[in-house]
Amino acid sequence: MLRNKTISFCCLLAGLLFLVSCVNESTRQQPVRKGCTDCHAEMAVKFQSGNLHAPVKDNACYSCHRPHGMVGGVFMKEEIPQLCFRCHGQLAGKGGAVASVVHSPFAKGKCGSCHDSHNSIQPDLLTQSLKEVCFSCHARKEFEKKNVHAPLEQGCTTCHNPHAAGQEKLLKTAAVELCLSCHQNKNSKFIAAHYEFGVNSGCVNCHNPHSSDRDGLLRAVAHQPADKGECRKCHSQQPGETISAPAENNSLCLSCHQQEAGAATLLHEPVAEGKCVDCHAVHASEYQGLLRSSPTTVCLKCHQREPADDRITTHSPYGSGDCLTCHFGHGEKAAAGLRAQDGALCFTCHDQNKLGGGSHGHEPATQGKCLTCHVPHRSPEKGLLAKKEVQLCLTCHGAISSEFEKLSLHQPFAAGECSRCHDSHQGKGPGKLLRNLAVGELCLTCHQSLLERQNNEHSHSPFKKGECLSCHGAHASEFPLLMRNRTGEICLTCHDSLQQQLTVAKFAHEPMARMNCNACHVAHGSELKNDLVKAQPLLCLDCHQEVGANWASGVAHQPARQDCGLCHAPHLSESKALLTVAADKLCFTCHKGDSPRYKKVHGGVTPSGKSCVTCHDPHGAPKKGLLYPVSHKPFSQGQCRDCHPGRDN
């Protein structure tokens, strides 16, 4: 009995535990995943106005985005446009075999160029109104002329598919079908407007499908017979019949336009082959000369143009596609169908008076041989040069090439920038084609730091006169700073009196002997007399420091402190130490050797001028009297007669 009760109790306990475990499992709290708007609440507000993209409306951000967690950023599930094609699969094929013409942004997968990915106040999630979206790429002025085609007011998609189409220009159907869907060509008014001829094709040959300044949306330039309704000049049909194209050959065209090619000896290939309509529209056009499209487009059908490159200089007409600025379309007596030969053609745009027509022109420019130096379309060099500037100049001025091997090169010359100093078309004066008539002015355009010195009172004469080439070479030199010779040799060409003295003088100042004039003088001039580097005596003290050894704490000899030139010659002398006069006379120019005071201070002795510097320092000493600091004891005690019995007077 007890055993049965125990078994029953255990079964009951097990059942209760099972029930408890089931309750816990069912009531256990599951983790909640945050949505995008839990963190990006501002996005929820921003993207809830206007027309909503379906995933945004359904709050299904993960349809397009990957969650990013702690790493900030916008991570798409797939690249655009493949991401867009997940939902808009019906468009995917239109970029391939189904459509022959694909809208450029769509072909490049740039859906965001036209559509907003979240919401928009515009239909189809357009970023702007339909018209403005189109005008962001297509020039507005072509669609807003005086008379605007009614469907254009309704929107471009009235006639065009926005993504891709099987017709050119993204038209929804063939052009003529599209036109006739609105314009009834059997209508009497329609027929009367077309001079009683039936028309069932070629509408855009005469009419601009978007806008025009002419009535009836006629194109800007019309073939004269078409404009006057003289259709039978080219077409054989009678009024009331449906008009059709005549046979394509140039005999019909030349029946009126014989002069176009008659005088030319060099015919444009389409003209020679009678293919007038390769370039020209037969009824009307938006371009002068009834060209089928812009001159650029027409010409580039045959003549390939290199892709644009910012590093390349492009002739303006070539860059803008104005081929007919320089070339005739049909043919001419000049090569390449040019409107004129070489310079005569160039000078129709470029002012000849400034480019070789003056009295000091560069020979190629004067003779109008522009293509000697320039190429007509594009060049990797500035100014459309045919070669690098220096290479071009050396083809004629080859004699200068040896100067590149010299020690010192003028920076523009070394860089091959001849035009920094020379005008390549005409100069300001005779010879050299210099950009400035005065050489000095030309040099100072770069060497502006010297400009202030030119007006100094003591400017070096050649520098003041702008005669830079008196001392410097223009291109190169075997000497530093483009000097024409050693510094001293150059100086002596003008200061020739020193040249003569140098050959006979007994003593020369060391810089003078070494021809190093720049040691003391500023070549271009200074604020000091004689163009000195520094004022006296500071200049001399740079080399002769010992001269001023006692000036700070002792006594300076006044002439030495004032100007070394009072006693010394700066360049050459007949006396030792470059004295201006013989040593026995120099001191007596200031000190009276025959005065009683002179004899008194010398202890009753009258020394000769030769002995002054045996006792006195001529520049300065520790004490007054300028005696040397170390002296013979009898001398310091004034007992000169112990050694020099001498004379009494």
What does the DSSP assignment read for 487-544?
A: HHHHHHHH-HHHHHHHHH-SEE-HHHHTT-GGGTB-SSB-SSGGGBSS-TTHHHHTT-
Picking from 66-80, 305-319, 503-517, 633-647, which range would have the lowest pLDDT averaged per residue?
A: 633-647
CA distance 151 to 157: 9
Q: Which two tokens stand for residue 610?
A: 């030769």
Picking from 30-39, 473-482, 500-509, 634-643, which range would have the lowest pLDDT averaged per residue?
A: 30-39
Mean pLDDT computed over 592-609 = 85
Q: What is the DSSP string of 290-358?
A: GBSS-HHHHHHTTS--PPP-TTSEE-HHHHTT-GGGTB-SSEESSGGGBSS-HHHHHTTTS-GGGTT-S
CA distance 615 to 630: 10
Q: Residue 209: what pLDDT?
A: 95
CB 434 within 8 A of CB 427: yes
Q: Is the pLDDT of residue 137 over 60?
A: yes
Convert the pLDDT of each residue in 435-493 to its tens digit. Answer: 887 878 899 999 988 888 877 778 888 998 889 999 999 999 999 999 999 999 999 99
Q: Is the pLDDT of residue 420 over 90?
A: yes
Judged by DSSP in three states, 638 sits in coil
Please, which pLDDT band fits residue 234 given cuts at 50, 70 and 90? confident
Picking from 2-6, 166-170, 305-309, 320-324, which range would have the lowest pLDDT averaged per residue?
A: 2-6
Q: Residue 162: what pLDDT?
A: 94
Picking from 154-158, 436-440, 466-470, 518-522, which range would have the lowest pLDDT averaged per residue?
A: 436-440
Buried b (16+ CB within 10 A) or exposed e, 320-331: ebbbbbbbbbbb
Dihedral in degrees, nearest 10, Cα atoms 187, 188, 193, 196: 120
Q: Is the pLDDT of residue 249 over 70?
A: no
Q: Tally the C-alpha atoms within 13 A of residue 342's C-alpha that lie toward its C-beta.
A: 12
Give every CB contact of residue 133 below 8 A, 6+ residues apart in sequence.
Answer: 114, 126, 127
Q: Residue 631: what pLDDT?
A: 84
Convert the pLDDT of each residue in 70-120 to its tens digit. Answer: 677 788 889 999 999 999 988 876 544 457 899 999 999 999 999 999 999
**Could you tell me what percentage of the chain is helix, strand and coil, using 3-state DSSP and rounding each to the nearest 5?**
45, 10, 45
CA distance 430 to 111: 65
Q: Is the pLDDT of residue 23 over 50?
A: no
CA distance 467 to 458: 16
Mean pLDDT computed over 400-419 = 94
Q: Is the pLDDT of residue 39 over 70?
A: yes
Q: Tally the C-alpha atoms within 13 A of residue 331's C-alpha that lie toward its C-beta.
A: 19
Which of the two residues, 2 and 110, has the higher pLDDT score? 110
CA distance 239 to 164: 40
Which of the two residues, 21 and 35, has the higher pLDDT score? 35
Mean pLDDT computed over 53-68 = 89
Buried b (16+ CB within 10 A) or exposed e, 597-633: eeeeeeeebebebeebeeebbbbbbeeeebeeeeeee
Q: Of 422-426, 607-611, 631-635, where does the model show the most confidence?
A: 422-426
- Domains of the chain, by residue range, sit at 44-172, 550-649
Percent share of the chain, pLDDT over 70 = 91
CB 48 within 8 A of CB 59: no
Please, which pLDDT band fits residue 26 given cuts at 50, 70 and 90? very low
Please count the other Cβ atoms lying within 10 Å of the Cβ belonging to residue 46.
Answer: 11
Percent share of the chain, pLDDT over 90 = 51
CB 609 within 8 A of CB 585: yes
Convert the pLDDT of each residue in 487-504 to its tens digit. Answer: 999 999 999 889 889 889
Picking from 223-227, 257-261, 581-585, which range would have the lowest pLDDT averaged per residue?
A: 257-261
pTM (global) more than 0.85: no
Q: Tally the C-alpha atoms within 13 A of residue 305's C-alpha that lie toward its C-beta.
A: 22
Q: Which two tokens stand for residue 105?
A: 């942004």
Name 532's bridge partners: 521
CA distance 138 to 600: 112
Q: Residue 93: what pLDDT?
A: 65
Question: Can the peptide bond before residue 380 be classed as cis, meaning omega within 30 degrees of 0?
Answer: no
Under DSSP, the state recorded for 620 is E
Q: Is the pLDDT of residue 363 over 60?
A: yes
Q: Which two tokens stand for residue 216?
A: 């009836």
Mean pLDDT computed over 325-353 = 86
Give phi and psi for 111, each to the nearest 5.
-60, -35
- Closest to 537 (Cα-Cα) out of 615, 620, 621: 620
Mean pLDDT computed over 578-605 = 89
Convert the pLDDT of each residue in 276-288 to its tens digit. Answer: 888 999 999 999 8
Q: Residue 609: what pLDDT?
A: 86
Give every CB contact of residue 222 below 8 A, 6+ residues apart in sequence.
Answer: 206, 283, 284
Name 207's bridge partners: 218
Please, which pLDDT band fits residue 635 given cuts at 50, 70 and 90? confident
Q: Is the pLDDT of residue 25 over 50?
A: no
Name 525's bridge partners: 459
Q: Is the pLDDT of residue 13 over 70?
A: no
Chain-wide mean pLDDT for the chain?
87
Mean pLDDT computed over 611-626 = 92
Name 313's bridge partners: 379
Helices vs strands, H then E, count in the chain: 34, 18
Which of the two residues, 372 and 645, has the higher pLDDT score? 372
CB 403 within 8 A of CB 476: yes
Picking from 207-221, 287-301, 635-649, which range would have the lowest pLDDT averaged per residue?
A: 635-649
Which of the two residues, 70 and 636, has the higher pLDDT score? 636
